[in-house]
Structure 1
Amino acid sequence: MTSIVTGSVADRGRATYDLGATAIFASKSDPRFHYCLYVPPAVGEGAQVDLLVAVHGTGRTSFLGFRDAFAEFGRWNDCAILCPVFPMGVLGDDARSGYKYMIEGDIRYDQVLLAIVEEVVAKYRQDWTRFAMFGFSGGGHFTHRFAILHPDRLWAASIGAPGSVTLLDPTRDWWVGIRDLPEKFGITFDAAALAKVPVQMIVGDADLETWEITHAQDSTHWMSGANDAGQTRPERLRTLCRSFEEAGVRVRFDLLPGVAHERDAVLDPVKDFLAQALKERRNASR
């Protein structure tokens, strides 16, 4: 593990850049990708805390908003907040959405995230073998697909308003289904592990615009069945909910009245869900 150097100058630097609302860091495993955190005071006192990974949407700017919006939650629930940044056009092609589908060229975004987690585990001397994940819009894409691939790494997953969904359909290939997970990812879907993860799915009932989520046949991520889960985000998330429930997953489905595609409007019920999941997790470990 990386040691945290002691001494007045080092302690001051650590307090300024590594605790509370941190600086933005490049990933040591792949410096194309970055992250920041909120680290609660308990970590500075040597305590063990839990971890929430909050994943940005297509605009990427929400990563700082998530860090700051969850800071109070993290402080009072002894939970660090990790916000990764997956830049647009990382392959030099201006592509917006590669991270949402977990694989882009030779990049495996699930592995990028896990490498960042291991980096902060070493830095803060924490046991973050399992963590929670929340994502909205593009982050909702990432969160539910990460849960499908790595349910054993999660103690909760909150999936906010993804534009497209991967169903637990063994008759269709990724990303519409999961038939070819072993060939594409070297992973066999573990329904029993996913069923142990508390899941929230959340979307506004006025989140009805389809211009960005309808897959045209000449689009990058087009494949047969790309639009079959529904026309709007609420319809597609309902379809995902049914797919997860049929696999034995306990899903809390929140349809928020009068809410459009508004990230900040979902945060309070997301925090409620995560606080309850955290309480259950800690009670079970006693």
Structure 2
Amino acid sequence: MTDLASERAHFVGGTPFFASQHDQRLFYALYVPKDHTPAAEPLPLVVIQHGTGRSAELYRDRWKEFAIERRCVILTPLFPAGLMEPGELHSFKFLEYRGLRFDEELLHIVDEVAAGFNVRPDRFYLHGFSGGGQFAHRFCYAHPDRLAGVSIGAPGRITQLDESLPWWLGTGGFEERFGIRIDLDALRRVPVQMVVGAEDTESWEIMNPGGPNWMDGVEETGDTRVARLETLRDNFVSQGIPVRFDVVPGVAHRGTGVVPVVQDFFGGLLASAASAR
């Protein structure tokens, strides 16, 4: 194998984790079908956002067959814990922390991947589970124009589209905080899935008054992740945003347990997009 070919081998299949060139504290890995080349037609991009455990590599590998079969590239960002202070876990879930805009940093990573790995740069598919589900629905509020579909998995804390509630319980002050006006018409055009395991009923992590990710009032959205996702679904529907709502039998709070249902959702969207081209 030539030096060029051996180097190229690390840029297809399951890649190493790369540092974002915009902020080298943040990282990402990919699964790129091995026959995809810079000269080929650009492929769609599917972003799988990790949760609190930062299991980015696990998700990349779990989505390998989907990438091959559905002809897409999988991107798994990695936003490390403890970026701003030792032991800090939750900052990325709320889009911004101490001046670092995680939503904008994801867009920088997507643009970097589009340039370096020959994917479609304009709109992508986004799934997150647990903490990743928190990030996914808040990202959707900020950037619906960049999403071809969003899958919101079992968020422990939800942000309702409600200007009367303060951020992050609701969207009160969203424009002042992020410099973005929420575009409900654009949100209504994004295909939305909400997904949770039927057995996702433990509450020790989400009913934690006094914790660093607690706000009084969150308890009113439900005492389990199932109930909280139902609250978010009802809020979306009240705003005219259709939702595919999936409760997966026999699954507790396990992101890999809902992957087949998410893949069914994204697979349908990718097939529809391909037939429309």
Question: TM-score when scaled to structure 1?
Answer: 0.92
Q: Paired residue for 1:133? A: 126
Task: Spell out, residue by residue over 1:111-133, the C-alpha distance to the aligned partner (whole angstroms, 9 max, x if none).
Answer: 11111111111112433210000
**Secondary structure class of the residue paired with 2:36:** helix
Contact residue 43 and residue 119 of structure 2 kept, 8 A: yes
1:173 to 155, 162, 166: 166
Q: Which amino acid aligns with 2:195?
A: I
Task: Spell out, residue by residue over 1:181-206, the C-alpha distance to the aligned partner (whole angstroms, 9 max, x if none).
Answer: 11100010011111111111111121
Identity over the aligned pairs, expressed in percent?
Answer: 43
Task: Spell out, residue by residue over 1:226-282, the C-alpha distance to the aligned partner (whole angstroms, 9 max, x if none).
Answer: 222111000000000111112222211011122111222111111111001112222
Task: Spell out, residue by residue over 1:131-172, the C-alpha distance to the aligned partner (whole angstroms, 9 max, x if none).
Answer: 000111111111111111111110011111110100001111
**CA positional deviation for 1:225:** 2.0
Moved more, 233-242 or 243-252: 243-252
Q: Which amino acid aligns with 1:11?
A: A
2:222 to 218, 223, 230: 230
**Secondary structure class of the residue paired with 1:210:** coil
2:49 to 46, 55, 59: 55
Aligned mates of 1:64, 1:271 — CA distance in 2? 17
Q: Paired residue for 2:247? A: 255
Aligned mates of 1:154, 1:94 — CA distance in 2? 31
Aligned mates of 1:11, 1:107 — CA distance in 2? 37
Structure 2 runs not aligned, ≥5 long: none
**Secondary structure class of the residue paired with 1:227:** helix
Question: TM-score when scaled to structure 2?
Answer: 0.95
Aligned mates of 2:232, 2:143 — CA distance in 1? 17
Q: Paired residue for 1:111? A: 104
2:138 to 133, 142, 145: 145
Q: How many residues align?
A: 276
Aligned mates of 1:83, 1:102 — CA distance in 2? 17
**CA positional deviation for 1:220:** 2.3
Aligned mates of 2:254, 2:25 — CA distance in 1? 28
Aligned mates of 1:128, 1:72 — CA distance in 2? 22
Equivalences for 1:4-153 in 2 at 5 Å? 8-15=2-9, 17-44=10-37, 46-60=40-54, 62-153=55-146
1:191 to 184, 199, 207: 184
Contact residue 60 and residue 76 of structure 2 kept, 8 A: yes
Contact residue 42 and residue 49 of structure 1 kept, 8 A: no
Aligned mates of 2:228, 2:48 — CA distance in 1? 21
Aligned mates of 2:154, 2:225 — CA distance in 1? 6
Q: Which amino acid aligns with 2:215?
A: M
**CA positional deviation for 1:46:** 2.1
**CA positional deviation for 1:41:** 3.1
Q: Which amino acid aligns with 1:86?
A: F
**CA positional deviation for 1:222:** 3.1
**CA positional deviation for 1:97:** 0.7
| CA RMSD of superposed structures (Å) | 1.5
Matched, 1:206 2:199: yes
Contact residue 215 and residue 226 of structure 1 kept, 8 A: no
Contact residue 215 and residue 227 of structure 1 kept, 8 A: no
Aligned mates of 1:215, 1:280 — CA distance in 2? 42
Contact residue 164 and residue 236 of structure 1 kept, 8 A: yes
**CA positional deviation for 1:215:** 4.1
